[in-house]
Amino acid sequence: MEIPPVVIDRLPLYARALASLEAQGREVVSSQELGQQLNVTPAQIRKDLSYFGRFGKQGRGYNVRKLLDELRSILGLNRQWRMTLVGTGRLGRAILGYEGFAPQGFRIIQTFDSDAEWVGKQVNGLTVHSTDDLEKVLADSPVDVGIVAVPAETAQNVIDRLVACGVTAILNYAPIAAHVPPHVHIKRIDPVLALQGMTYYLKANAASK
Amino acid sequence: MEIPPVVIDRLPLYARALASLEAQGREVVSSQELGQQLNVTPAQIRKDLSYFGRFGKQGRGYNVRKLLDELRSILGLNRQWRMTLVGTGRLGRAILGYEGFAPQGFRIIQTFDSDAEWVGKQVNGLTVHSTDDLEKVLADSPVDVGIVAVPAETAQNVIDRLVACGVTAILNYAPIAAHVPPHVHIKRIDPVLALQGMTYYLKANAASK
């Protein structure tokens, strides 16, 4: 059975809320409470989880530890993922310094830049490779995820090269709607799109003149 | 009529694709072609746009300039939006240096940090204010959007203070599911959630051991 992508996208939120409940020593949680924390209806939570079998008993709530373990296993969160970063400019260096990846099992093991000024330098314990050497470095040391933090003009080319190297998951920070083959998964981190989705609601009461 | 939030979230993508077509000198585009560019079905595009009235004629496609103007007006993209940034650490400085905001009408006009080392310093042409002065600065100079780039532990407090200052749109880079009153819009920029939504698909063919 094909699970709808929107369901897959909600599961990490459930896992995160459950991890926080587990850290507080909670053993059981209702779909009502979980829904309230996450701004999702309890019915949605029950429906999403029903794709993966039976969790919890009617009227008794979910066992926090058990559901969390299941979600971690479903999502592959209980393992280490190797990532490569292309683009070591200001944005790339902020990504390298981001402390949220490692605790969740995501590790950047290589970094690239096309600026000769940066190639060979150390950033956050990694030597910056030349983007020209992408194929060579990835052949020696394959990764699961490619992070793209290059300017819009070169992003599609970098993504094509990552895909040719066998990378099947891409986190794209460049402001383009990149094209990838159907077997490749891509997610966009795009603050402008997020802002533009909110200004619709702001028009009436804006501070700007 | 209440427009579903998922529809609102797709409109900026349509606007971006249309702007690119306009730049190429295109006058007309079909929902088929637009859908192909954006990985959305033509039926979805027609349905989304139908919320806002009649665009295009059956079998003739959309007038690029006219639809783009309409979308810009609907989304409030044809104006300037004032933003404040709380957190001028590594991530905050990358946000300040991000060149994608200004061309889309989003301008960061204030920046705050709680680290005395940074307060009073200049970053990208802005003087870093103490986070203690948030209420005072915002009273003098209100903004439309608050960007939160502080650690997880202090994020909810900063968000509460922004909301108390009358900010009704928040872009949250802190890895927490923040709570806001119903009249406030919040979007999360969370690369770990994005990655965790992809690892589900990677489990079978992972490079990691």
The secondary structure of A132-180 as a DSSP string is GGHHHHHHHS--SEEEE-S-HHHHHHHHHHHHHTT--EEEE-SSS----
The phi, psi pair for A79, rounded to 5°, reads: -150, 175
Please tell me the predicted confidence (pLDDT) of residue A161.
Answer: 98
**Confidence category of residue A175, pLDDT binned at 50, 70, 90:** confident
Other CB atoms within a 10 A radius of the CB of residue B73 amount to: 13
Q: How far apart are CA B182 and CA B161, in angstroms?
A: 16
Q: How far apart are CA A83 and CA A109, in angstroms?
A: 6
**Confidence category of residue A209, pLDDT binned at 50, 70, 90:** very low
**Is A16 in Cβ contact with B101 (below 8 Å)?**
no
* Exposed / middle / buried, residue B85 (Cβ in 10 Å: 0-12, 13-18, 19+): buried
The amino acid that residue B169 corresponds to is A
Identify each DSSP E strand in chain B by its residue range.
28-29, 62-63, 81-86, 106-113, 122-123, 126-130, 145-148, 169-172, 185-188
How far is the alpha carbon of B187 from chain A, nearest alpha carbon, in Å? 6
Among the ranges given (A49-53, A137-141, A169-173, B54-58), the one the predictor scored with the smallest mean pLDDT: B54-58
**Is A198 in Cβ contact with B185 (below 8 Å)?**
yes
Among the ranges given (A80-84, A147-151, B38-42), the one the predictor scored with the smallest mean pLDDT: B38-42
Taking CA atoms, what residue in B is nearest to A206? Answer: B144
Burial B29-56 (b: 16+ CB within 10 A, else e): bebebbbebbebeeeebbebbeebeebb
**Is B76 in Cβ contact with A202 (below 8 Å)?**
yes
Looking at residue B128, the DSSP 8-state letter turns out to be E
> Among A3-17, A138-152, B7-21, which range has the highest average pLDDT?
A138-152
Please tell me the predicted confidence (pLDDT) of residue A39.
Answer: 75
Say yes or no: B100 contacts chain A, CB-CB below 8 A. yes
Pairing of strands B122-123, B126-130: antiparallel
Please tell me the predicted confidence (pLDDT) of residue A101.
Answer: 92
Q: How far apart are CA B109 and CA B124, in angstroms?
A: 11
Q: Which among B15, B193, B207 is the nearest to A82, CB-wise? A: B207
How far is the alpha carbon of A95 from chain B, nearest alpha carbon, in Å? 8
> Percent of chain A having pLDDT more than 90?
65
- pTM assigned to the model: 0.83
Please tell me the predicted confidence (pLDDT) of residue B70.
Answer: 92
- Do B149 and B171 form a contact (C-beta atoms < 8 A)? no
**Confidence category of residue A199, pLDDT binned at 50, 70, 90:** very high
Please tell me the predicted confidence (pLDDT) of residue B206.
Answer: 53
Q: Say whether pLDDT at A208 is over 60.
A: no
Looking at residue B165, the DSSP 8-state letter turns out to be T
| Residue of A185, A200, A209 for testing the chain B interface, max B β-carbons within 10 Å | A200
Q: How far apart are CA B63 and CA B80, in angstroms?
A: 25
Q: For the CA atoms of chain A, what is the radius of gyration?
A: 20
**Is B201 in Cβ contact with A185 (below 8 Å)?**
yes
Q: Say whether pLDDT at A23 is over 80.
A: yes
* Whole-complex ipTM: 0.88
SS3 B47: helix
Please tell me the predicted confidence (pLDDT) of residue A205.
Answer: 56
From first to last of the 209 residues of chain B, give the pLDDT tens digit: 678 888 898 899 899 999 989 999 999 999 999 988 887 888 989 999 988 877 766 677 899 999 999 999 999 898 999 999 999 998 899 899 888 899 899 999 999 999 999 999 999 999 999 999 999 999 999 999 999 999 989 999 999 999 999 999 999 999 888 889 999 999 999 999 899 989 988 875 555 44
Q: Say whether pLDDT at A37 is over 60.
A: yes
pLDDT, mean over chain A: 90
Please tell me the predicted confidence (pLDDT) of residue B169.
Answer: 97
**Is B91 in Cβ contact with A94 (below 8 Å)?**
yes
Interface subset of B 168-197, CB within 8 angstroms of A: 168-169, 171, 175, 177, 185, 187-189, 191-197
Chain A residues touching B180 at Cβ < 8 A = none
**Is A185 in Cβ contact with B101 (below 8 Å)?**
no
User: What percent of chain B is helix, strand and coil (3-state, nearest 5)?
Assistant: 45, 20, 35
**Is A187 in Cβ contact with B197 (below 8 Å)?**
yes
Say yes or no: B116 contacts chain A, CB-CB below 8 A. no
- Do B147 and B135 form a contact (C-beta atoms < 8 A)? no
